[in-house]
Structure 1
Amino acid sequence: MSLVLHLDTPAWRAHLAATCADVPGLVPVAKGNGYGFGLDRLAAEADLLELDTLAVGTTPEVAEVRNGGWSGDIVVLTPWSRHDPLAVDYLADEQVITTVSRLDDLKLVAERAPRARVIVELLTSMRRHGMGPGDLPGVRSLLSSPQDSGLRFEGWTIHLPMKAANALAEARELSSAAASTIEAPVWLSHLTLDDYRTLTRELNVATRLRMGTALWLGAPNTRRTTARVLDMHPVKRGERVGYWQHRVSQDGWVVVVSGGTAHGVALTAPSPGANLRQRAVTLATGAMDAAGRALSPYTIDGRKRGFIEPPHMQSSLVFLPGAATVAIGDDVPVELRLTTARVDEIREVDAEA
């Protein structure tokens, strides 16, 4: 088995360093599968960038990035919950900054861990987590006298939708309301760099910009992924193949390639259907799936080839019509959504070497 991410490490690191230099207040996000690289790798890369803070998605990821070598501050993006034992324990950790999104939880945190470091999340048009305008007086009452609550207030956090009618206007309104409540840093997600710079100039408080996808996956020319041809079998039109014994429509080859559901091959999220083109693609893909002709992410002889059946756990069967243009042991390109992928190996390359 060999599903490989080929990484031009010098070029990738040059992109990371350039992004870091271009974004004052940058906070890298390392969560989930580590954007295909793994959390330990991202922790090590963030350490090389000499940044002071790293953001993770959940409390178990704190230990994972520390195991990767990160020793700085860690922001946990998932809001604090009394039902998460790790979240409760981390309140006493000097380097963990806890996100709090409910006024009742902020009061409870103040009672349980009076010296905890916290950031308060504001409710955005996402309507996922956050405190609304009516909660701000309560936040001010609790945090404006540190000698009373004891909490170390690290600022306000605003998690904007990825597609907003006017993200800058929403960020500006929320930031202004927050800063007028308590003057403290504002942490933001999903703002363009131009909008972030504009807001930074306007505000009288420090700003931080969290960045995940645009940072780690922002230089697609620095990487490619390949799968190995594990086996091949000639088939005639009408013969049955695979677990589900589908008939092939013409003469050709069953090509067994590395990579399956365990690697994230062909796993997709529901389409947002944000525009007419996306809806058309979703409809066409659904029709192909229903007809048993789903296109695979594997490219053989310059074209993506169809799945014979849904991917197996660690390998996939694709159909190559006509003559054999690959051989066992060959590597073929495979398109992976790296935010859901797990590769067998990251192979370091240097395009200029």
Structure 2
Amino acid sequence: MSLALTIDTEAWRTHLANFADEAPGLVPVAKGNGYGYGLGRLAQETSLLAERNPAIDTLAVGTQPEIAQVRAGGWHGDIVVLTPWSRFDGEEVLHDERVISTIARLDDLAAAQSVNPRARVVLELMTSMRRHGLPVEDLGRISERLGDLQVEGWTIHLPMVAQDRLGEARALAAGALATRRAPLWLSHLTAQEYDTLRGEVSVPTRLRVGTKLWLGAPKTRRTTARVLDMHPVHRGERIGYWQRRMPTDGWVVVVSGGTANGIALEAPTAASTMRQRAITLASGSMEAAGLALSPYTIAGKKRFFVEPPHMQSSLVFLPGAGSVAVGDEVPVQVRLTTVTVDEIRG
């Protein structure tokens, strides 16, 4: 029984290599669930990219505990931790010569110095994301507080959608470089925006990329679930934990994958267009009526859940005559950043 991710490894690695060739200063990002592939696998793939392109010398992780996971996966280069270090975190990371910590608050800058005056750090600037960062108005106070810290650069984490993202990056870069000349670490610029900014500054630039790198070639992978069991049901018959009535004759199909895998546990969507909002509204209306469309495709169509997914399996309803058999694998559309698969093939 498994929810499986099958990779066309050769095609995927061709995509990764081409992406790296077109992104000078690339810093791959491996965080969370490893974009569905797992942190260990991403560490291996980054190592292969580095063998081919020695300029890839740094891997970004989301949190401090992920450092050990990518090292166990075989990454031996530098590691930058994206979540800013604070005085409430462990101090060992500031003594690790292969780790670069992010600093995003003046108080934490002073605290880091007290732990290791020569710690390797990048300084994050506040952007319109409004998540982490040193305010631009504090830049004048920063230069006198850096002491002997090894400043590896300024990091600018931009929003994914903005009217003038390049303009924001330009303004922040100008303020930062006027304070201290150091490399620029950038996120969420398009290739064209990145190339433009690279040509305008006289310091090295690094481009941190996760989703577009690892998930940028959808045809190189597919996710499937196995049909575990199936039972004929009749209209009006009550089934499942919640004894819901069946709307018509058909089959209850038991498929692998449930809440333990993240099935139907989705993150909020960024519904920014009228069409996206209409789809969200329609989905919410169906769920209110007890009808929730599942991510499983059987006989060419996505099918409705019979009830909320179970821990390790899900019940979906197939109207009419059965067209699958126990043991078949069926496509399941998942968001790999929120799903944990049982098996990776390839």
Query: Scaled by the length of structure 2, what TM-score is found?
Result: 0.97
- Residue identity in the other structure for 2:3: L
| Map of 1:146 onto structure 2 | none
Q: Does residue 188 of structure 2 align to residue 190 of structure 1?
A: yes
| Map of 1:43 onto structure 2 | 43
* The one of 330, 335, 338 aligned to 2:336: 338
| Map of 2:76 onto structure 1 | 71
- Residue aligned with 2:267, SS: coil
Q: Distance in 1 between matches of 2:11 and 2:285?
A: 40
CA shift for structure 1 position 272: 2.3
- Residue aligned with 2:95, SS: coil
CA shift for structure 1 position 142: 1.9
| Map of 1:226 onto structure 2 | 224
* The one of 287, 292, 295 aligned to 1:294: 292
| Map of 2:7 onto structure 1 | 7
Q: Does residue 108 of structure 2 align to residue 105 of structure 1?
A: yes
| Map of 2:121 onto structure 1 | 118
Q: Distance in 2 between matches of 1:270 and 1:32?
A: 17
* Contact 2:233-2:250 at 8 Å conserved across structures: yes
CA shift for structure 1 position 89: 1.3
| Map of 1:57 onto structure 2 | 62
- Residue aligned with 2:34, SS: coil
Deviations 1:198-237 (A, max 9, x none): 0000011110000000000000010001100000000000
CA shift for structure 1 position 273: 2.5
- Residue identity in the other structure for 2:44: A
- Residue identity in the other structure for 1:76: V
* The one of 158, 162, 173 aligned to 2:160: 162
* Contact 2:291-2:305 at 8 Å conserved across structures: yes
Unmatched tracts of structure 1, length 5 or more: 144-148, 349-353
- Residue identity in the other structure for 2:178: S
Q: Distance in 2 between matches of 1:242 and 1:286?
A: 22
Deviations 1:15-55 (A, max 9, x none): 00000111000000000000000000000100000120000
Q: Distance in 1 between matches of 2:114 and 2:236?
A: 71
- Residue aligned with 1:49, SS: helix
- Residue aligned with 2:281, SS: helix
Q: Does residue 310 of structure 2 align to residue 305 of structure 1?
A: no
Q: Percent identity?
A: 66
Q: Distance in 2 between matches of 1:138 and 1:80?
A: 19
| Map of 1:32 onto structure 2 | 32
Unmatched tracts of structure 2, length 5 or more: 51-55
- Residue identity in the other structure for 1:62: I
| Map of 1:237 onto structure 2 | 235
* Contact 2:267-2:338 at 8 Å conserved across structures: no
CA shift for structure 1 position 281: 1.1
CA shift for structure 1 position 166: 1.2
Q: Distance in 2 between matches of 1:336 and 1:271?
A: 14
- Residue aligned with 1:74, SS: strand
- Residue aligned with 2:340, SS: coil
Q: Does residue 144 of structure 2 align to residue 133 of structure 1?
A: no
Deviations 1:74-123 (A, max 9, x none): 000000111122xx210000000000000111112112211100000000
Q: Distance in 2 between matches of 1:150 and 1:141?
A: 11
Q: Distance in 2 between matches of 1:260 and 1:69?
A: 31
* The one of 187, 211, 214 aligned to 1:213: 211
Q: Distance in 2 between matches of 1:330 and 1:271?
A: 31
How big is the alpha-carbon RMSD for the aligned residues of Structure 1 and Structure 2? 0.8
Deviations 1:260-304 (A, max 9, x none): 111111221122231211211111110011111111000001000
| Map of 2:92 onto structure 1 | 89
Q: Distance in 2 between matches of 1:6 and 1:192?
A: 29
CA shift for structure 1 position 249: 0.4
Deviations 1:289-333 (A, max 9, x none): 111111100000100000001111110000000000000000000
Following TM superposition, where does structure 1 have runs of at least 4 consecutive aligned residues deviating by more than 6 angstroms?
Answer: none
- Residue aligned with 1:292, SS: coil
Aligned residues: 341
* Contact 2:295-2:334 at 8 Å conserved across structures: yes
| Map of 1:274 onto structure 2 | 272
CA shift for structure 1 position 138: 1.6
CA shift for structure 1 position 134: 1.7
Q: Distance in 2 between matches of 1:109 and 1:343?
A: 38
| Map of 1:351 onto structure 2 | none
- Residue identity in the other structure for 2:277: R
Q: Distance in 1 between matches of 2:10 and 2:66?
A: 27
CA shift for structure 1 position 181: 1.0
